[in-house]
Chains A and B, each alone.
Chain A
Amino acid sequence: MLILTCPCCGVSAEETEFHCGGEAHLKRFGPDSSDSDFETYLFQRQNPRGVHFERWRHVNGCGKWFHAARCTQTLEIFGTYPAQTTEPPQALRDRIAEKRPGWTQESVS
């Protein structure tokens, strides 16, 4: 059971109040992109064992989308942050690096 804190309304709740929207920070390839880029955008995911950045929606709450960083192996939540960003905040990356020595965001992307 994951306990997430929605950065939009401040509520902390277990995962049944939320809905996961898959991997975060994907680069979108739309019309006029190559078939291979479009395929990568649609289907290719990191699926790491460990640190993962995800999109979540507070579906049974305030209804807003936000981001969460968690460990797929231990289910630890490192933190949540607003949806209006293209990359995780530095403070969160530092905290993750502290908890997972050797981890860098570049090591997964």
Chain B
Amino acid sequence: MSELLTPLLGKSYDGLVQVAELPRRGMITLRGDISTATMRNVTTGLTGTAMPGRGRVELAGDGMLAWMSPDELLLVLPADRVPRALERIAKDLASAHHLALDVSDARAMIRVSGADAAVRDTLAKLAPVDFSAKAFPAGSFRRSRLAQVPAAFWCAGAGDFGLICFRSVAEYAFSALSNAADPAGTVGHYA
């Protein structure tokens, strides 16, 4: 089997904050009626997390469950568990209209970490989102844009943010983030 590579080959940049590609993880996009008990049980069972509310993400260990839209969830779990997870979803949701797809290699996942205010400043340079600690506390999940490309952001904790974008624009997202984190570009907006 071919060796599966992440789009940025694990690249990282150290500036005002650290911008680093996260290691390859399994990602499953799941659409359907996300309000049912069956949907909640199968998704939380696979990620080992709680069920996220609107605009929220739940993280636990190596699992993550994100609220993408009123009818879409994103499951993140170890990549080798994806085939079994898809089987499980197909079985448990057999009688419910749904769509489940392995998107692990369709997306890039980047971590932006460092001093909390500096991380928020860096992201706010690129997205039309209020990243203040009050408006975007830990557990927040928001789909928006990063400069000119769509991206989804979340806050895992103080100074610890993650984002996903399409694989085809990974290089662009990484460059834009690195540029925004240039040591000469201190803003101090959220300081």
> CA A3 – CA B134 in complex, angstroms?
20
Most buried by B among A8, A14, A17, A59: A17
Chain B, interface size category, equals 10 to 19
Q: Tell whether, in the assembled complex, residue B143 and residue A62 are in contact, meaning their CB atoms are under 8 Å apart.
A: yes
Q: Tell whether, in the assembled complex, residue A62 and residue B70 are in contact, meaning their CB atoms are under 8 Å apart.
A: yes
Q: Tell whether, in the assembled complex, residue B68 and residue A17 are in contact, meaning their CB atoms are under 8 Å apart.
A: no
Q: Tell whether, in the assembled complex, residue A61 and residue B70 are in contact, meaning their CB atoms are under 8 Å apart.
A: no
Residues of chain B within 8 A (CB-CB) of A75 are none
Chain A, interface size category, equals 10 to 19
Known pairs A60-B144, A62-B143; A8 contacts B69 (CB<8 A): yes
Partner of A9, one of B70, B128, B150: B70
Q: Tell whether, in the assembled complex, residue B129 and residue A9 are in contact, meaning their CB atoms are under 8 Å apart.
A: no
Chain B CB within 8 A of A102 CB: no
Residues of chain B within 8 A (CB-CB) of A60 are 143-145, 150
Q: Tell whether, in the assembled complex, residue A62 and residue B68 are in contact, meaning their CB atoms are under 8 Å apart.
A: yes
The B-contacting residues of A in range 64-108, CB under 8 angstroms, are 64
Q: Tell whether, in the assembled complex, residue B128 and residue A64 are in contact, meaning their CB atoms are under 8 Å apart.
A: no
Chain A CB within 8 A of B111 CB: no
Known pairs A9-B54, A11-B142; A16 contacts B128 (CB<8 A): yes
Partner of A64, one of B69, B129, B142, B144: B69
Known pairs A9-B70, A62-B69, A64-B70; A17 contacts B144 (CB<8 A): yes
Chain A CB within 8 A of B55 CB: yes
Q: Tell whether, in the assembled complex, residue A8 and residue B144 are in contact, meaning their CB atoms are under 8 Å apart.
A: no
**Interface set of B (CB-CB < 8 Å, partner A):** 54-55, 68-70, 72, 128-129, 142-145, 150
Q: A14-B128, A60-B143, A62-B72 are in contact. List 6 more A-B contacts (CB 8 A).
A: A9-B55, A10-B55, A11-B142, A13-B144, A17-B144, A62-B69
**Interface set of A (CB-CB < 8 Å, partner B):** 8-11, 13-14, 16-17, 59-64
